[in-house]
Amino acid sequence: MLKYSYIKSLLAVVILLLSASVHCAQSKTDSIIKANKACENIEQIAALYAALYGLDSISERLDYVSFGIEKSKQLDYTKGLMQMQYLKAVTYDLIESYDDAIIYFQNAIKSAEVLQDSAYLRFCYMSIGGINLEVENYEQAKKDFFVGLKYANNSLTKSVDIYNYLGTLYKELGVVDSSLYYHNKTLKLREIENDTLGLAHSYNNIALVYKHSGDYITALEYLNKSLEFKKKMNATKGIGGSYINIGSIYLLLKDYHKAYEYASLGMIYTDSVKAKTFTLNGSETALKALLKIKSKRAHELFEIYDSLNTALNGEEVLNNIEVNQIKFDVANKEQQLELEKAKANQLSQSLKVKEEKEKRLGFIIIACVIGVIILIIFLIIVYKNFKKKKALSLSLEDKNLLIEQKNKDITDSINYAKKIQNSIMPDINEFGNLFQDSLIYYKPKDIVSGDFYWFEHFNNSIVFAAADCTGHGVPGAMMSVICVGALNHFTKKTDITDPETVLNFIDKEVNRSTNGGSDEQRMADGMDIALCAYNKDDNIIQFSGANRPLVLIRNNEVIIYKGNKYPIGQDIGIEKDFTGEKIQLEKNDTVYVFTDGIVDQFGGEKGKKLLFRRLKEFLLSIQPLSFSEQKEKIDFFFNQWKGEEEQVDDVLVIGIKV
């Protein structure tokens, strides 16, 4: 959790400058604390606050701060209360106790609002945004940063740290243009202020954006600029880190000799100042380069890497680096054996190709037809927009009308896509005719949805599923079309209904249908699903899940069947084998399957996730009700929890009673 630690360090420096003389030696700090720890007046509280920044013991600092908060309240000293609340939040943030940190930042905000202290309001919102960035809650982080900018009062100097955060945020979101915009804005401000350390960080941050986007040559240019400023400051650790970063770029460019040269040079600098984490990163880059060029020095460097990793992480290196490549003779023999096996299997593999193509043909035709329809709709939209852009002489009113029409066209197209999606999903009303009592609660986040329900009646079996495809809105809907097509194709062509067999087939089909994208895209495209097959004759339900559970409630007791811990599709680097459960049901048993949208919803009094625990308690509480009443209760429960928060994902809950 050290991705943004340098940003937090810069923020801490700003606060220290605000809080008078807090850079005193430890002995002076101790004497100031001892003289003022009673907090009998405003002056003592102010002196204690400034001195606590220099106190090394985190537990002692928290104790003094808590006492200072109480004394500030007793003396009605609002500024002291605000400062102590802020210091407590910063301390919790330092030890990564993020929930506690946010609570005290919010308390400090209330005090700062009373004092109309724009500086502390800016620092608090920026710090909360930094925490949300750290825990990958990107949308909330963005809101926090823009609120913080409001309190910069249009001052570029006061905005520089928030611009830096926004650059990092947009990099994580993959919005390269916005990331570069804010990082370049930060760079210009630091050039004006002649901030050498800040300039080094800015050039490094811009380099990381280009690295993230695959532009390695430009990334090298900015890393070298960052290195120049670190050399001016004689920052040994920073110089070593830059050399290691440059080595990692050369590794990506497959220039393995330069990758080793720069990484090993960086290790000399970082090892001289005992920067073990930096040295570990450098040794990993250098080791990977030596393995690629098959150097005998790889064995010696591996021992350094292994000892550092064990010291820092408390565990030995296991399988994350191809260690066996160090032993060249053994590796060469293994490669020869693999080559012989590949030749032996080539004939049998070619015989399977024809059979696989025939199986895939029907599925591919369906996917292509749907894809062509959506592509035609998209091209129509693009053509209409192109024609409208030619009208350059339109008045402002006409342009507004043009924008409104464009939005209407897009909305109409998405609504039409919804019709297409609805047409491939079964009629929700038919589900109620298949069971004694049942419900389907379906609440998409957008017009179209990545979640979908599916069911079919085969002789004496009813097969049904709750599924969640990657994303929501249009991308999720596109994946749902592929996944519904795969389900229909397999079950109707084979009459096979046992869930684990179906999931193993669907996993392979989804992987084949998405194999045209990049490696990252293939890892992202997929589906979580709970698939059930209920046999009316013997009252048995078969279940298999991909990252989704089944909840059985019997005699006022909740029983959980967790399913498999991997998704449909998505190249996760292992061979997947979906397994299932066979459950003998009893009279009045109720069964629920659902997607993760309901448990991931933020809300409640503290704006936290609903979580699986609360959902189980709620489902248990509504058992006396009919399923039509349960559906109303689920809707009320979800909306009450959500409150004013935005719906974060599509929501789907399916329930049956036997």
- Using an 8 Å Cβ cutoff, are 450 and 466 in contact? no
Closest residue by Cα to residue 545 from 565, 530, 562: 530
State the pLDDT confidence band at 130, using cuts at 50, 70 and 90. Answer: very high
Asked whether the predicted pLDDT for residue 24 surpasses 60, the reply is no
Mean pLDDT of 443-467: 90
| Listed range (101-115, 195-209, 413-427) with the worst mean pLDDT | 413-427
Contact 308, 275 (CB under 8 A): no
Q: Which of 439, 502, 443, 465 is nearest to 656 (CA)?
A: 439
Average pLDDT score over the chain: 82
Is the model's pLDDT at 439 over the cut of 90? Answer: yes
The predicted-structure confidence for 301-310, as pLDDT tens digits, reads as follows 787 877 777 7
Q: What is the pLDDT of residues 391-412, one digit of tens each?
A: 554 555 556 666 676 666 666 6
Residues in the chain: 658
Domain 1-142 and domain 154-234 have a common topology = yes
Query: First and final CA of the chain: distance in angstroms?
Result: 48
Average pLDDT over residues 497-511: 89
Q: What is the mean pLDDT of residues 485-489?
A: 80
Does position 274 have pLDDT exceeding 90, yes or no? no
Distance CA 456, CA 532 (A): 11
Tell me the sheet residues that pair with 441.
Answer: 653
Residue 12's pLDDT band (cuts 50, 70, 90): very low
For 351-369, what is each residue's pLDDT tens digit? 566 567 666 766 667 776 7
Phi/psi at 646 (nearest 5 deg)? -75, 140
What pLDDT, on a 0 to 100 scale, did the predictor assign at position 317? 41
What are the backbone dihedrals phi and psi of residue 128, each rounded to the nearest 5 degrees, phi first? Answer: -65, -40
Residue-wise pLDDT for 40-60, tens only, equals: 898 988 888 888 888 888 898
Domain boundaries, the chain: 1-142, 154-234, 327-424, 427-657
Q: How many CB atoms lie within 10 A of CB 645?
A: 12
**Is the distance from CB of 544 to CB of 578 less than 8 angstroms?**
yes
Across 1-25, average pLDDT: 43
Res 368: pLDDT: 65
pLDDT of residue 36: 72
Q: Does domain 1-142 have CATH number 3.40.50.1100?
A: no
Q: Maximum Cα–Cα distance for the chain, whole Å?
A: 89
Q: Give me the residue label for tokens 């611009």.
A: 163
> What was the pLDDT predicted at 330?
32
* The pLDDT of residue 485: 79
Tokens standing for 636? 């009320």
The answer to whether 84 touches 19, Cβ cutoff 8 Å, is: no
| pLDDT for the residue 353 | 62
Tens of pLDDT, residue by residue over 569-599, are 876 677 889 999 999 999 999 999 999 999 9
Burial class (CB in 10 A: 0-12, 13-18, 19+), 32: buried
Which range, of 13-17, 240-244, 335-339, averages the lowest pLDDT?
13-17
Give me the phi and psi of 552, to 5 degrees please.
Answer: -110, 130
In percent, the amount of the chain with pLDDT more than 70 equals: 80
pLDDT of 27 strictly over 60: no
Class of domain 154-234: mainly alpha
Query: Model-level pTM greater than 0.75?
Result: no
| pLDDT for 315 | 45
What backbone phi and psi angles, to 5 degrees, belong to 622? -100, 10
The per-residue pLDDT for 402 is 61
The fold of the 427-657 domain, in CATH, is Phosphatase 2c; domain 1 (3.60.40)
User: At residue 194, does pLDDT exceed 70?
Assistant: yes
Number of H helices and E strands in the chain, helices first, is 24, 13
Structure tokens at 596: 């993760």
Q: How many CB atoms lie within 10 A of CB 486?
A: 25
